Amino acid sequence: MNVALLAHEQFPDRAKTAVGVLRYADYDVVAVLDRGTAGSRVADHVPDVQDAPVVASMDDVGADVDALVVGIAPIGGGFEESWRPDVRTALERGADVYAGLHYFLADDEEFAGLAAEHGCDLWDVRSPPEDIGVAEGTAGSVDATVVTTVGTDCSVGKMTATRELYEDAREQGMDAAFVATGQTGILIEGEGVPVDRVVSDFAAGAVEAMVLDAAEDHDYVFVEGQGSIVHPAYSGVTASIVHGSQPDHLVLCHEVGRESVHGYDQPIPPVESFPGRYEQFAGPVSDSDVVGGMLNTRSVDGDEAARDAVAEFADTIDAPADDPVRFGTESVLEAIR
Amino acid sequence: MNVALLAHEQFPDRAKTAVGVLRYADYDVVAVLDRGTAGSRVADHVPDVQDAPVVASMDDVGADVDALVVGIAPIGGGFEESWRPDVRTALERGADVYAGLHYFLADDEEFAGLAAEHGCDLWDVRSPPEDIGVAEGTAGSVDATVVTTVGTDCSVGKMTATRELYEDAREQGMDAAFVATGQTGILIEGEGVPVDRVVSDFAAGAVEAMVLDAAEDHDYVFVEGQGSIVHPAYSGVTASIVHGSQPDHLVLCHEVGRESVHGYDQPIPPVESFPGRYEQFAGPVSDSDVVGGMLNTRSVDGDEAARDAVAEFADTIDAPADDPVRFGTESVLEAIR
């Protein structure tokens, strides 16, 4: 399936979703739309993902496009009016449009009209399904090994760690599933529920339903975590994912040098306290152990220094650790098998 | 303000909201509607609340009624069609209708039409306001003492404990506010946000906004807790309230004899572990200590045995304790002052 990725003015550094799609999704990306870097190629900016030309608008995309994916989100999750011509052009060409914004494309009169006229789908990834209920506390009894990622903060790399574990597991012949809980994961996987957009009472229920479903057909279920239990705003989302998924194993994600909560004036407790925090929190609902750690070393220059950082992190949490992007997931996957 | 309380077939034992309104709200209750116990009086069933006749329908209510309050909720929170004539009659008589159901009266075509025709308000207590945002982590810096109730489970008496603490504090001349987070508390207080109905990402933000608002004008802010951090379905709501309110003090609520999670096949951890659990959970966001406990002894026969149970609970949690309904809140309030 051919997709174009909208990432105006933000590719690649502030286009987390676009880069995630380039790295992990099964889509063939035929173009990235970024009027700021038009004329370059993806490979000029991000070396280790599929390559594609960067162009200024949908008008410059010659290839057939099945879907336009909005790969960025401004603070607040609104729709930038400067993107309107691209979305309009995509729909007029018969392409679906996918977005993970708080603003729903389906609620936009012009887009809804064009989609109906041209037989296209508008997929608002962040709009949760309506048939979600209260968790029944049953995810722990599935006939599969459930692994949930947790973190010392948000934006430390939980989606990436989960996806790398899932892909590496499959490469090793393990029958693995990926449960997406956030917009980037959902866009990559093609399904999932944006837990942060689910009504609090049903958030754990949403996760439980996905785990039960995935465990029907797979031996290993990798659940994408969100936020952190020490986060002043998002700990409710984290709690719902940990208790809703009732994992056998937890994988602790951290970024080198992160010492205070992203965007908040609040120190993060010592990293060595986190395995105990998460195990004690999960404990009454499920007997979950922190089986390994994933360290994001993107700010570290040189592989040697990065290896040292990973070794120190492993020491700190007293469990095997890896950097999933830089070095892979082997030692952690070993502990899960 | 005169209200009638709808509690068909469930008064008083399964009418938690109706009994809460009778006990705590400023409303003058002119009648309880229960076709099962019509002909009796409230005082025949519940001794320590305002008295009123129990009648079979709105047609039997002679007094002027400013509002009909739906004081029960079936499992699932739907609207029982057998209540429709009462709601219809109330609206036709010019009374507002308040309800805390998942089914919103305002979405009911007949009720919306009658309300418009007769100039009445439909107040769906469980419908959260739309202007809620992400928590900014600022509740801890307010110029007021914030006290949040937490529990070993749901339905152990957190709303009652919070309300009794608030009322006793005011009687002692403390300038106190009550922050309602669930439908009964909101119906009693006349305002509040149903945190369990707020989108996960904004749940802590909803609580924070209420605390900031209450702390503007008051010295003590009592925040009604929800659920429990060991609950398989609702821990996300609990987490959002604890981290959103950043309390100075926590008050631990428990019911005598509760050993497994209400409605779930999951044991509750030893009660003595809860002060540490909540303090460790709150700790990275706010330095909150469990300053006392509230024990629900409704299942205990005799005040002497109840006093023994309270003393044992105080010992177990190593803090002063009370039964707020049976004995008052003095020892815990003492620790808060």
What's the gap in Å between the CA of B323 and the closest CA on chain A? Answer: 26
> How is residue A252 annotated by DSSP?
E
What integer pLDDT is reported at residue B16 of this predicted model? 87
Give A198's contacts in chain B (Cβ within 8 Å): 199-200
| Res A47 pLDDT > 90 | no
Contact A158, A196 (CB under 8 A): no
- Fold of domain A2-124: Rossmann fold (3.40.50)
What pLDDT band is residue B102 in, cutting at 50, 70 and 90?
Answer: confident
Helix (H, G, I), strand (E, B) or coil at B321: strand
Cβ of A201 within 8 Å of Cβ of B196? The answer is yes
- Report whether B243 contacts B276 (CB < 8 A): no
Of A137, A236, A265, the CB nearest to B240: A236
Helix, coil or strand: residue B292: strand
For residue B278, give the chain A residue with the closest CA. Answer: A281
Which of B199, B197, B189 is closest to B223 using CA atoms?
Answer: B189
Coil/strand/helix, residue A53: strand
Taking only Cα atoms into account, the Rg of chain A, rounded to an integer number of angstroms, comes to 20
Task: Decide: A247 and A145 in contact? Cβ < 8 Å.
Answer: no
CA B206 vs. chain centroid, Å, equals 16
DSSP state, residue B293: E
Instruction: Give the residue carrying structure tokens 């705003």.
Output: A233
CA separation for the pair B85, A326 (Å, rounded): 67
Contact residues, A window 53-92, toward B, CB-based 8 Å cutoff: none
Contact A284 B204 (CB under 8 A): no
A277 lies within 8 A of chain B by CB? yes
Whole-angstrom Cα distance, residue B55 to residue B53?
A: 6
C-alpha span between B226 and A157 (Å, rounded) = 31
**End-to-end CA separation in angstroms for chain B:** 33
Two domains, one topology: B2-124 and B139-336: yes
In chain B, domain spans: 2-124, 139-336
Contact B232 A243 (CB under 8 A): yes
Q: What is the mean pLDDT of residues A99-125?
A: 96
DSSP A147-215: EEEEESSSSSSHHHHHHHHHHHHHHTT--EEEE--SHHHHHHHS----GGGSBHHHHHHHHHHHHHHHH
Does the pLDDT at position B273 exceed 80?
A: yes
**For residue B262, which residues of chain A lie inside 8 Å, CB to CB?**
none
Per-residue pLDDT, averaged over B222-239, amounts to: 98
Collect all residues with Cβ–Cβ distance below 8 Å to B270 and sequence separation of at least 6: none
Nearest residue to B149 (alpha-carbon basis) of B21, B291, B260 = B291
Chain A residues near residue B287 by CB distance under 8 angstroms: none
Query: How far A284 CA lies from chain B's nearest CA (Å)?
Result: 6
Confidence of residue B74 (pLDDT cuts 50, 70, 90): confident
- Compute the radius of gyration of chain B from its Cα atoms: 20
Please check whether residue A263 touches B, CB under 8 A. Answer: no
Contacts of B285 (CB under 8 A, 6+ apart): A230, A231, A232, A235, A266, B137, B140, B242, B243, B246
Per-residue pLDDT, averaged over A63-92, amounts to: 93
pLDDT digits (tens, 9 = 90+) for B278-321: 999 999 999 999 999 999 999 999 999 999 999 999 999 999 99
pLDDT confidence band for A74 (50 / 70 / 90): confident
Please say whether the beta carbons of A251 and A160 come within 8 A.
no
Residues with Cβ within 8 Å of residue B8, at least 6 apart in sequence: B33, B34, B35, B36, B72, B80, B82, B83
* Pair B53, B7: CB distance under 8 Å: no
Contact residues on chain A for B281, CB-CB shorter than 8 A? 229, 281
CATH fold, domain A139-336, is: Rossmann fold (3.40.50)
A236 — contact with chain B (CB < 8 Å)?
Answer: yes
Please report the ipTM that was assigned to this predicted complex. Answer: 0.94
**pLDDT tens per residue across span B103-155:** 999 999 999 999 999 999 999 999 988 889 999 999 999 999 999 999 999 99
Instruction: Output helix, strand, coil percentages for chain B, rounded to the nearest 5.
Output: 40, 20, 45
Mean pLDDT, rounded, of chain A: 96
Model confidence at B73, pLDDT cuts 50, 70, 90, reads: confident
pLDDT value of position B268 = 98
Distances (CA, A) of B256 to A12, A21, B232, B308, B310: 57, 53, 21, 11, 9
Percent above pLDDT 90 for chain A:
95
- What pLDDT is recorded for position B224? 98
For chain A, the straight-line distance linking the first and the last C-alpha, in angstroms and rounded, comes to 33
Cβ distance A196 to B200 less than 8 Å, yes or no, reads: yes
Q: Does B199 touch chain A (CB under 8 A)?
A: yes
**Per mean pLDDT, which range of A179-188, B3-12, B66-75 is the poorest?**
B66-75
pLDDT given for residue B131 in this prediction: 87
**Cα distance between residue A207 and residue B162, in whole Å:** 31
Considering only CB atoms, A235 lies closest to which of B243, B264, B280, namely B243
Considering chain A, what percentage of its residues have pLDDT values greater than 70? 100
Residue B272: the pLDDT is 98
Place of tokens 């002063």: B320
B34: closest CA among B79, B91, B88, B72?
B72
Distance CA B241, CA B254 (A): 18
- Chain B residue numbers with beta carbons less than 8 Å from the beta carbon of A231 are 243, 285
CB within 8 Å: A201 and B284: no
The strand order across the sheet containing A67-70 reads A54-55, A28-33, A2-6, A67-70, A96-99, A122-124
pLDDT at B47: 87
pLDDT of residue B75: 74
Where do we find the tokens 């992160």? Answer: A258
Mutation site, B235, B264, B277, interface A, largest A CB count within 10 A: B235
The yes-or-no verdict on residue A154 having pLDDT over 90 is yes
Q: How near does any CA of chain A get to the CA of B178, in Å?
A: 22
Is the pLDDT assigned to residue A285 strictly greater than 90? yes
Using a CB–CB cutoff of 8 Å, tell me whether B155 touches chain A.
Answer: no
pLDDT of residue B283: 98
> At B5, phi and psi to the nearest 5?
-115, 115
- Interchain CB contact of A255 with B (< 8 Å): no
User: Could you tell me what percent of chain B has a pLDDT over 90?
Assistant: 95
The alpha-helical segments, DSSP class H, found in A194-273 are: 200-217, 235-245
**Whole-number pLDDT of residue A76:** 74
Is A225:A281 a contact under the CB 8 Å cutoff?
Answer: no
Residue A99, pLDDT above cutoff 90: yes
- Hey, are the CB atoms on B200 and A201 less than 8 Å from each other? no
B285·A277 Cβ contact <8 A: no
pLDDT tens per residue across span B185-216: 999 999 999 999 999 999 999 999 999 999 99
Label residue A22 by pLDDT band (50, 70, 90). Answer: very high
Beta bridge partners of A138: none
CB contact under 8 A, B234 and A204: yes
For chain B, what is the mean pLDDT? 96
pLDDT score, position A52: 97
Size of interface A-B (CB pairs under 8 A): 136
Long-range CB contacts for residues A47-53, cutoff 8 Å, separation at least 24: A48/A23, A48/A325, A49/A19, A49/A22, A49/A23, A50/A22, A50/A23, A52/A5, A52/A22
Tens of pLDDT, residue by residue over A298-327, are 999 999 999 999 999 999 999 999 999 999
Please check whether residue B252 is in contact with residue B294, taking contact to mean a CB–CB distance below 8 angstroms.
Answer: yes
- Touching check for B201 and chain A: CB below 8 Å? yes
Give ∠ CA B173-B177-B180 in degrees, rounded to 5.
145
Where in A36-105 does DSSP place strands (E)?
54-55, 67-70, 96-99
Chain A residue with minimum CA distance to B207: A233
Q: What is the pLDDT of residues A213-229, one digit of tens each?
A: 999 999 999 999 999 99
Identify all chain A residues contacting B135, using CB atoms and an 8 Å cutoff. Answer: 232-233
Residues in Cβ contact with B151 at an 8 Å cutoff, skipping those fewer than 6 apart: B157, B158, B225, B227, B228, B252, B253, B254
Q: What is the token pair recorded at B111?
A: 């009720």
Q: How far does the CA of residue A32 sit from the closest CA of chain B (Å)? A: 30
Residues A26 and A126: their CA atoms lie apart, in Å, by 20
> Does residue B76 register a pLDDT over 80?
no
Answer whether B233's CB lies under 8 Å from A284's CB. Answer: no
Q: What residues in B contact A193, CB-CB < 8 Å?
A: none
pLDDT value of residue A332: 98
Predicted confidence (pLDDT) at residue A75 exceeds the cutoff of 80: no
| Residue A144 pLDDT | 98
